[in-house]
Protein backbone atom coordinates (compact mmCIF):
# COMPACT_ATOMS: atom_id res chain seq x y z
CA UNK A 1 0.00 0.00 0.00
CA UNK A 2 1.20 3.50 -0.84
CA UNK A 3 0.06 6.41 1.31
CA UNK A 4 0.81 10.10 1.62
CA UNK A 5 2.79 11.08 4.73
CA UNK A 6 -0.21 12.31 6.69
CA UNK A 7 -0.10 12.17 10.47
CA UNK A 8 -2.47 9.19 10.35
CA UNK A 9 -0.27 7.28 7.88
CA UNK A 10 2.93 8.12 9.76
CA UNK A 11 1.37 6.79 12.97
CA UNK A 12 0.22 3.70 11.06
CA UNK A 13 3.78 3.23 9.74
CA UNK A 14 5.13 3.48 13.29
CA UNK A 15 2.63 0.85 14.48
CA UNK A 16 3.65 -1.47 11.63
CA UNK A 17 7.30 -1.13 12.62
CA UNK A 18 6.58 -1.70 16.30
CA UNK A 19 4.75 -4.91 15.34
CA UNK A 20 7.67 -6.28 13.30
CA UNK A 21 6.62 -5.07 9.87
CA UNK A 22 8.60 -3.45 7.07
CA UNK A 23 7.91 -0.10 5.41
CA UNK A 24 9.60 2.30 2.98
CA UNK A 25 9.83 6.04 3.52
CA UNK A 26 11.57 9.10 2.04
CA UNK A 27 14.67 10.68 3.54
CA UNK A 28 16.65 13.77 2.55
CA UNK A 29 18.50 11.54 0.07
CA UNK A 30 16.86 8.35 -1.28
CA UNK A 31 14.00 6.17 -0.02
CA UNK A 32 14.86 3.89 2.90
CA UNK A 33 13.55 0.64 4.36
CA UNK A 34 12.20 0.99 7.87
CA UNK A 35 12.13 -1.76 10.47
CA UNK A 36 12.65 -2.02 14.21
CA UNK A 37 16.44 -2.41 14.64
CA UNK A 38 15.90 -4.25 17.95
CA UNK A 39 13.69 -6.91 16.31
CA UNK A 40 15.91 -9.56 14.70
CA UNK A 41 13.06 -11.04 12.64
CA UNK A 42 12.14 -7.61 11.29
CA UNK A 43 15.76 -6.91 10.37
CA UNK A 44 15.92 -10.24 8.56
CA UNK A 45 13.01 -9.09 6.37
CA UNK A 46 15.30 -6.35 5.03
CA UNK A 47 17.94 -8.86 3.94
CA UNK A 48 15.28 -11.04 2.33
CA UNK A 49 13.62 -8.15 0.49
CA UNK A 50 16.88 -6.71 -0.81
CA UNK A 51 18.64 -10.01 -1.46
CA UNK A 52 21.37 -8.49 0.68
CA UNK A 53 24.44 -10.29 1.93
CA UNK A 54 24.27 -10.69 5.70
CA UNK A 55 27.87 -9.52 6.14
CA UNK A 56 26.78 -5.97 5.34
CA UNK A 57 25.67 -3.73 8.19
CA UNK A 58 22.54 -1.59 8.16
CA UNK A 59 22.37 2.18 8.59
CA UNK A 60 20.11 3.49 11.34
CA UNK A 61 18.39 6.84 11.63
CA UNK A 62 18.30 8.39 15.09
CA UNK A 63 16.25 11.19 16.62
CA UNK A 64 19.34 13.12 17.68
CA UNK A 65 22.53 12.92 19.70
CA UNK A 66 20.66 11.72 22.79
CA UNK A 67 20.14 8.37 21.03
CA UNK A 68 23.89 7.83 20.67
CA UNK A 69 24.38 6.70 24.26
CA UNK A 70 22.41 3.48 23.72
CA UNK A 71 24.01 2.62 20.37
CA UNK A 72 27.68 3.59 20.36
CA UNK A 73 30.69 2.88 22.56
CA UNK A 74 32.38 6.28 22.23
CA UNK A 75 32.01 9.57 20.35
CA UNK A 76 35.44 10.80 19.28
CA UNK A 77 36.35 14.50 19.06
CA UNK A 78 36.34 14.18 15.25
CA UNK A 79 32.87 12.68 15.33
CA UNK A 80 31.69 15.53 17.54
CA UNK A 81 33.00 18.09 15.04
CA UNK A 82 31.13 16.42 12.18
CA UNK A 83 27.94 16.08 14.22
CA UNK A 84 27.96 19.79 15.01
CA UNK A 85 28.71 20.73 11.41
CA UNK A 86 26.43 18.40 9.44
CA UNK A 87 23.67 16.92 11.61
CA UNK A 88 20.81 16.81 10.94
CA UNK A 89 21.65 16.11 7.32
CA UNK A 90 22.90 13.59 4.74
CA UNK A 91 26.03 12.48 6.60
CA UNK A 92 26.21 8.94 7.98
CA UNK A 93 28.83 8.32 10.65
CA UNK A 94 30.28 4.91 11.53
CA UNK A 95 30.93 4.48 15.27
CA UNK A 96 32.19 1.68 17.47
CA UNK A 97 28.99 -0.12 18.41
CA UNK A 98 27.70 -0.97 21.83
CA UNK A 99 28.38 -4.70 22.23
CA UNK A 100 24.76 -5.56 23.04
CA UNK A 101 23.42 -4.54 19.61
CA UNK A 102 22.04 -7.22 17.33
CA UNK A 103 24.76 -8.84 15.17
CA UNK A 104 22.35 -8.60 12.23
CA UNK A 105 22.72 -4.81 12.28
CA UNK A 106 26.51 -4.92 12.35
CA UNK A 107 27.26 -7.38 9.56
CA UNK A 108 29.82 -9.19 11.70
CA UNK A 109 31.70 -6.00 12.53
CA UNK A 110 32.01 -4.01 15.75
CA UNK A 111 30.73 -0.77 14.22
CA UNK A 112 27.32 0.81 13.59
CA UNK A 113 26.37 3.42 10.95
CA UNK A 114 24.09 6.23 12.16
CA UNK A 115 22.51 9.36 10.73
CA UNK A 116 20.39 12.16 12.14
CA UNK A 117 18.13 12.88 9.18
CA UNK A 118 16.96 16.33 8.15
CA UNK A 119 13.87 14.89 6.42
CA UNK A 120 10.66 16.18 8.06
CA UNK A 121 8.88 12.90 7.23
CA UNK A 122 11.64 10.76 8.68
CA UNK A 123 11.76 13.02 11.74
CA UNK A 124 8.01 12.63 12.33
CA UNK A 125 8.30 8.87 11.91
CA UNK A 126 11.17 8.66 14.41
CA UNK A 127 9.19 10.76 16.87
CA UNK A 128 6.17 8.46 16.52
CA UNK A 129 8.42 5.44 17.07
CA UNK A 130 10.27 6.91 20.02
CA UNK A 131 13.56 5.33 18.95
CA UNK A 132 15.91 4.52 16.07
CA UNK A 133 14.88 3.12 12.70
CA UNK A 134 16.67 1.19 9.97
CA UNK A 135 17.43 3.18 6.84
CA UNK A 136 19.13 1.00 4.24
CA UNK A 137 18.18 2.05 0.71
CA UNK A 138 14.87 0.71 -0.63
CA UNK A 139 16.11 -1.30 -3.60
CA UNK A 140 17.34 -4.76 -4.49
CA UNK A 141 21.04 -5.16 -3.80
CA UNK A 142 23.30 -4.09 -6.70
CA UNK A 143 20.42 -2.10 -8.24
CA UNK A 144 20.09 1.72 -8.17
CA UNK A 145 18.49 3.33 -5.10
CA UNK A 146 14.81 4.22 -5.36
CA UNK A 147 14.01 7.91 -5.76
CA UNK A 148 10.21 7.69 -5.65
CA UNK A 149 7.44 5.62 -4.08
CA UNK A 150 6.68 4.16 -7.51
CA UNK A 151 10.25 2.92 -7.88
CA UNK A 152 10.07 1.36 -4.42
CA UNK A 153 6.79 -0.35 -5.30
CA UNK A 154 8.23 -1.76 -8.51
CA UNK A 155 11.35 -3.08 -6.79
CA UNK A 156 10.09 -4.28 -3.41
CA UNK A 157 6.33 -3.85 -3.20
CA UNK A 158 5.60 -7.50 -2.42
CA UNK A 159 7.79 -7.33 0.69
CA UNK A 160 6.41 -4.12 2.21
CA UNK A 161 3.47 -3.38 4.48
CA UNK A 162 3.39 0.33 3.62
CA UNK A 163 5.20 2.89 1.46
CA UNK A 164 5.09 6.52 2.58
CA UNK A 165 5.01 8.64 -0.59
CA UNK A 166 6.93 11.86 -0.03
CA UNK A 167 7.34 12.61 -3.73
CA UNK A 168 10.53 12.30 -5.76
CA UNK A 169 13.89 12.59 -4.01
CA UNK A 170 15.55 16.01 -4.04
CA UNK A 171 18.89 14.40 -4.93
CA UNK A 172 20.14 11.29 -6.68
CA UNK A 173 23.06 11.04 -4.24
CA UNK A 174 23.09 8.81 -1.17
CA UNK A 175 24.35 10.04 2.18
CA UNK A 176 28.08 10.50 2.61
CA UNK A 177 29.62 7.80 4.79
CA UNK A 178 32.52 8.54 7.16
CA UNK A 179 34.12 6.10 9.59
CA UNK A 180 34.79 7.84 12.92
CA UNK A 181 35.31 4.65 14.92
CA UNK A 182 39.03 5.39 15.34
CA UNK A 183 41.10 8.53 15.92
CA UNK A 184 41.47 9.11 12.16
CA UNK A 185 38.33 9.70 10.10
CA UNK A 186 38.04 7.67 6.88
CA UNK A 187 35.80 8.68 3.97
CA UNK A 188 34.04 5.46 2.93
CA UNK A 189 31.57 6.92 0.42
CA UNK A 190 31.25 10.42 -1.00
CA UNK A 191 27.64 11.40 -1.43
CA UNK A 192 25.43 14.40 -0.70
CA UNK A 193 28.11 15.97 1.55
CA UNK A 194 31.21 16.48 -0.56
CA UNK A 195 34.75 15.61 0.51
CA UNK A 196 35.60 19.29 0.10
CA UNK A 197 32.98 20.27 2.67
CA UNK A 198 34.26 17.63 5.07
CA UNK A 199 37.85 18.86 4.69
CA UNK A 200 36.75 22.32 5.79
CA UNK A 201 36.21 20.77 9.23
CA UNK A 202 38.44 17.69 9.57
CA UNK A 203 41.42 15.96 7.97
CA UNK A 204 40.42 12.98 5.80
**pLDDT, tens only, 148-164:** 999 999 999 999 999 99
**pTM, full prediction:** 0.94
Q: Assign 88 a pLDDT band (cuts: 50, 70, 90).
A: very high
* pLDDT on residue 148: 97
Q: State the CATH class of domain 2-199.
A: alpha beta
Q: Per residue, what are the HEC states of the chain?
A: CEECCCHHHHHHHHHHHHCCCCEEECCCCCCEEECCCCCHHHHHHHHHHHCCCCCCCCCEECCCHHHHHHCECCCCHHHHHHHHHHCCCCEEEEEEECCCCCHHHHCCCCEEEEECCCCHHHHHHHHHHCCCEECEECCCCCCCCCCCHHHHHHHHHHHCCEEECCCCCCCCCCCEEEECCCCCCEEEECCCCCHHHHHCCCCC
Rounded to an integer, the average pLDDT of 100-106 is: 85
* pLDDT on residue 204: 87
**pLDDT, tens only, 106-121:** 888 899 999 999 999 9
Rounded to an integer, the average pLDDT of 98-104 is: 86
Amino acid sequence: MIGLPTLQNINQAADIIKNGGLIAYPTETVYGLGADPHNAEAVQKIFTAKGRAEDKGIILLIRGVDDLSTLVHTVSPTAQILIEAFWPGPLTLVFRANPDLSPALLGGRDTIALRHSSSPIATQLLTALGGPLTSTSANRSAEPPAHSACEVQNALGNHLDLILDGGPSDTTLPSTLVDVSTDHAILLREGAVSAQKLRAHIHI
